[in-house]
Amino acid sequence: MHGQRTLRRSISCAGIGLHSGHKVTLSLRPASANSGIRFRRSDLGGLEIPATVSHVGGINHATGLARDAVTVDTVEHLLAAFVSLGVDNAIVELSSPEVPIMDGSAAPFVYLIQEAGIKQLSAARRYLKVLRPISISRGDKRIALYPSDHFKVTYSIAFDHPLLRHQSRTIRVTEESFVEEIAPARTFGFLEEVEMMRQQGLALGGSLENAVVIGDTGVLNNALRFEDEFVRHKILDVIGDMALVGRPIIGHLIAHRGGHALHTAFAGRVLEETDAWTLVDAPVAPAATSPVILPVKDAVRVVN
């Protein structure tokens, strides 16, 4: 059995919202077993929204949640960090409606979670194990889940821009691979879109400090963190959006040219297709994880 986990202690930081441009204080707090990830608005008397697909609200270059009149925006990078680091239960307290963008990646959230520490809870964690393919598509955008013994993500992107005509990557998502290969990948956008977004009241907090900006001939930032940082960030986004199913997934997710709207629609579809998956207590069959007990003679031979 893999037990559920939460944070060992509370931790806070300050930042700004990418789209709103507002200052925000973010506090991550421990929570009890089976309570999941819940966003709490301290500026609205502590009203809460569970991070589940049934509360998906506005999708506009970021994933938002809504419950009655309460909203929280840009939840995806933080959710990706929680699910990948195996934090099942936590309260995310915000002093304004948008999760701070930090440096545009999930690395600062990984740092916060690691600083807070992780605590085991006595309840079992249940994984959603995919039994048969599930997919949706919209035009040339497609996303699917296939049976696999591990959580893997394959993402491909294609843009009409010389810098990222096509990028594709497959990763088996573990705590280690997420921290090293995915979490540091930053949000990106095209320079020609920035002015349009600002006219719509978006990207007001955006800068080269928290996003990779792509101009006609290259990126405006000094350097990329990875040669294929863009597709790695799409993997980060889809991990965070799929966390809205409320459980870690065991399956191979394959997405082509997705975005938050497609990702979150797919998370909803997965929960609807209840015959396509089952809930299990461990990521692999117990027999495969049991230590192999060798007779003493064989053990000695192995060591030698």
What are the residues binding Zn ion (CB under 5 A)?
A: 187, 237
Could you confirm whether 2 is annotated as catalytic? no
* One-character DSSP codes across 188-221: EEEHHHHHHHHHTT-STT--TTT-EEE-SSSBSS
Q: How many helices (H) and strands (E) does the chain have?
A: 8, 19
State the minimum distance, in angstroms, from the CB of residue 231 to Zn ion: 12
Query: Cβ closer to Zn ion: 73 or 237?
Result: 237
Query: Cβ closer to Zn ion: 101 or 144?
Result: 101
Residue nearest to Zn ion (CB): 237
State the minimum distance, in angstroms, from the CB of residue 91 to Zn ion: 22
- Give the torsion sign (CA, 158, 162, 168, 171): negative
State the minimum distance, in angstroms, from the CB of residue 233 to Zn ion: 6
State the minimum distance, in angstroms, from the CB of residue 299 to Zn ion: 49
State the minimum distance, in angstroms, from the CB of residue 226 to Zn ion: 15
Query: Cβ closer to Zn ion: 96 or 187?
Result: 187
Query: Cβ closer to Zn ion: 35 or 221?
Result: 221
Query: Catalytic residue among 61, 77, 233, 260, which?
Result: 260
Sequence-distant (6+) residues with CB within 8 A of 151 are: 172, 173, 248, 249, 250, 251, 253, 283
Torsion of CA 73, 78, 80, 83, to 10 degrees: -120
Query: Cβ closer to Zn ion: 235 or 280?
Result: 235
Sequence-distant (6+) residues with CB within 8 A of 11 are: 27, 28, 112, 115, 116
Asked if residue 107 lies in contact with residue 184, where contact means CB atoms within 8 angstroms, the answer is yes
Within the chain, where are the H helices? 76-84, 107-116, 175-177, 191-199, 229-242, 260-272, 286-289, 296-303
Looking at the annotation, which residues are catalytic? 260
